[in-house]
Structure 1
Amino acid sequence: MPGTHEGTALVFPHLPQALKPFDTKPQARKLVEADGANLVLLSFKKGQIWREHHSVHPVVVQVLSGAVDFEVKGQILQLQPGSPIHLTAYLLHEVRATEDATVMVTMLTGERHDSARINLDGVHAL
């Protein structure tokens, strides 16, 4: 199948400053629901925890700024910018911020969307 110039590219602003954690817990925001994937941004203050949970879709988790301890299958992985992790659907995991941190979760939904639903100022489409 040949490629095409039809379609959309979404360009995001600098995300580590896009969301601030709440005083008592991390903040999460679904930034976009797009063709094949949803993007969720998490913002943590040092010491905040996103307790054990799972996703119904496979996910890729990547730290954009700061650092977190990522617990999965009884192991604690120290995630920093540049070291993403892929999880299968329903796999339990927990996130603890060892520094102020911004984390991006890409939910691999496989869903079709005719146009992206965007929940963040400063995103523009090409």
Structure 2
Amino acid sequence: MKTASLTNDIVYHKKRPTIQVLFETETGKEIRIAFKKDQVMKEHKTPFPIVVEIFEGSIDFGVNGKLHSLHKGDLVALEGGVPHDLTAIKDSIVRLSLNKADTAKRVEDVAKNS
């Protein structure tokens, strides 16, 4: 059994979203992304399907140029290869579920380059 908390030990970076791997399993990775209001993850693609949960706050989630307003409790499933971007409307916590073959470093690089 593995446990983690989406609310404990949150660190917000002043200029970009903060990425933290909560845990890995045999099939995937659970990642927390902490956004301050107005922080952005520029358009990017993932090689594998993902699931995004808005745990706290609100995010504008762009997919193929179309904007979707997501709020606390909303979930999005996205296939690999689909361009998407995120902008925090207010301080937000996002849970990202990745395929085991995907890397947290890829997500960190997107945040660093946004």
Same fold (TM over 0.5): yes
Q: Spell out structure 1 runs of 4+ moving beyond 3 A.
A: none
Query: Could you say if the C-alpha distance between residues 18 and 79 of structure 1 is closer, same or farther in structure 2, counting changes exceeding 3 Å?
Result: farther
Question: Residues 23-55 of structure 1, C-alpha deviation per residue, up to 9 Å, x if partnerless?
Answer: 111111222221111111100000000111122
Segments of 5+ residues of structure 1 without an aligned counterpart are 1-8, 112-126
Structure 2 residue aligned with 1:117: none
From 7, 11, 16, the counterpart of 2:3: 11
Please give the alpha-carbon distance, in whole angstroms, between the structure 1 residues aligned to 2:9 and 2:52. Answer: 17
TM-score by length of 1: 0.74
Please give the alpha-carbon distance, in whole angstroms, between the structure 2 residues aligned to 1:91 and 1:16. Answer: 29
Please give the alpha-carbon distance, in whole angstroms, between the structure 2 residues aligned to 1:17 and 1:79. Answer: 23
What SS is found at the alignment partner of 1:11?
Answer: coil
Q: What CA RMSD, in Å, does the superposition of the two structures yield over aligned residues?
A: 1.7
Identify, as 1 or 2, the structure richer in helix. 2
Residue 96 of structure 1: how far off its partner (Å): 0.1
What SS is found at the alignment partner of 1:19?
Answer: coil
Residue 10 of structure 1: how far off its partner (Å): 2.2
Which structure's CA Rg is the greater one? 1
Say whether the 8 Å CA contact 1:43–1:101 is kept in structure 2: yes
Residue 91 of structure 1: how far off its partner (Å): 1.2
Segments of 5+ residues of structure 2 without an aligned counterpart are 103-114
TM-score by length of 2: 0.81
Question: Matched residue pairs, number?
Answer: 102
Q: Percent identity?
A: 25
